[in-house]
Each structure stands twice: as C-alpha cells, then as structure tokens.
Structure 1
Amino acid sequence: MINGAHTIIYASNAEATRAFFRDVLEFPHVDAGDGWLIFKSPPGELAVHPADPQAAGDSELFLMCDDLAATVTDLKAKGVEFTTDISHQGWGLVITLAVPGAGTLSLYQPRHDTAYDLE
C-alpha cells in the first residue's frame, strides 16, 4: 500500500534551492548521489479544493507552523525574504516567502483541526 509522498519543487537554480532547505530551513536530508539532496518533509496533510476546469490538476505546497509570528521572526534572522505580510484568513494566518531559485512558498498557522498527526 502507499507508504509516503514525494514532493518535487522545480527550480531554475536547484543548488540555491537545496541550500535554502538544507541551511536555512534545516530540513534533514540524504544525498541520493552527486549532491542530489532528498529532504525529509515535515508531517503532512493533503487537501482537495474545488477548482475551475483550467486550474484542475494544479497543486501548491504550504509549510505549516504552530506560531507564525515567531517563525517569521526566526526566518527573518536567517535572511529569509517575505513577499507578503501576514494575512488573517478564516482557516489560518498565512504569509509568503521567497525560495531562492524556486519562486515562493506559503507558510501558515492553521486555525482548523489538522490531520498530520492522525494515526
């Protein structure tokens, strides 16, 4: 049966993106060979949202945290650039950060029940 999920981020500068996940976010990793790093993801969830037919099949990656303000402060101290301010959504607090060589990611503090720790 299915035992995991493998997420891919396509990057124009894979080395810079890998360094960001390794050195700034400090994600544990293995080297699959020749510097090809595979990162351990935090516990995850999968949500299915309705979409217009043109957007069906698109996907997004949101990183989650327990205290968004504290996490933003920590990441700013490491030089992370945020491309939006924290916004209050009904489902949580969210901000967007720049990932070197790979665009942006959203970071959020959920205000809903989470599924990532279900057994």
Structure 2
Amino acid sequence: MITGAHTIVHATDAEAARAFFRDVLGLPYVDANDGWLIFKSPPAELAVHPAGPADNGRAELYLMCDDLDATMAELGAKGVEFTSGVSEARWGLITHLQVPGAGEIGLYEPRHPIAYDLT
C-alpha cells in the first residue's frame, strides 16, 4: 500500500533551493545522481481544504514547529528572509519564508491536534 509521500518544490534555481534545504534547514538527504538531492522530510500530515475553482488541485507546503518565535529567530540568524509577518489563525500561528531560487513556503506553530505522530 502507501509507503510515503514525495513532495516536489519547483525552482528556477534548483541548486540554490537545494542548498537552502541542505545547509540552512539541515535536512538529511541522499544524492540520487550528480547533485540531484532528495531530502528526508520532517514527519508529515495531509489536510484537504475546500477550494474555489482557481484553487482546485493546488498544493501548498508548510513546515511545522513547536515555537514559531524561536524558530524564526534561529532561521533569521541564518539569513532566512521572511516574506510575511506572523498572523494568528484559529489553527495556529503562521508566517512565510522565501526559499532561494524557488518561491515561498509556510512555517507555522500548530494549535490544532496533530496527526503526524499517529501510529
């Protein structure tokens, strides 16, 4: 059956984006072939949200953390560019950050029950 999930981030500068995930976020990786890095993702969960016609089928990537302020301070010290302030939603605290050579991804501190540690 299903053994995992493979997330793809499209980047106009794939090398810069790979360096970000490797060097800044410190994600472990394997080199699949000549620098084509595949990263180990943090534990993950999947949510399905209602969508309007323009959003149908669109996927988003959010990294989760236990303490948004502390994580932002740590990443900011490594030069990470945050593209939004922190906002509070009923499901958590959220911000966005720039992946060099790619686009924005979300970062949030969940305030909802989490599913990634279910067995």
Alpha-carbon distance, 1:54 to partner: 2.7
TM-score, with normalisation over the residues of structure 2? 0.98
**Which residue does 2:78 correspond to in 1?**
78
Q: How many aligned residue pairs are there?
A: 119
Alpha-carbon distance, 1:32 to partner: 0.3
CA distance in 2, matches of 1:5, 1:103: 21
In structure 2, runs of 5+ residues without a counterpart are none
Residue type of the partner of 2:99? V
Q: Secondary structure at the match of 2:21?
A: helix
CA distance in 1, matches of 2:107, 2:100: 15
In structure 1, runs of 5+ residues without a counterpart are none
Alpha-carbon distance, 1:53 to partner: 2.4
CA distance in 2, matches of 1:74, 1:52: 36
Alpha-carbon distance, 1:3 to partner: 0.3
After superposition, residues 1-119 of structure 1 pair within 5 angstroms as 1-119=1-119
CA distance in 1, matches of 2:7, 2:88: 27
TM-superposition CA deviations, 1:41-92 (whole Å, max 9, x none): 0000000000012311001000000000000000000000001111111110
Give runs of ≥4 in structure 1 deviating > 6 Å: none
Alpha-carbon distance, 1:27 to partner: 0.2
CA distance in 2, matches of 1:4, 1:69: 30
Percent identity between matched residues is 66
Residue type of the partner of 2:89? Q
Moved more, 49-58 or 18-27: 49-58
TM-score, with normalisation over the residues of structure 1? 0.98
CA distance in 2, matches of 1:8, 1:83: 21
CA distance in 2, matches of 1:71, 1:42: 15
CA distance in 1, matches of 2:54, 2:13: 28
Residue type of the partner of 2:40? K
Note the aligned Cα RMSD (angstroms): 0.5
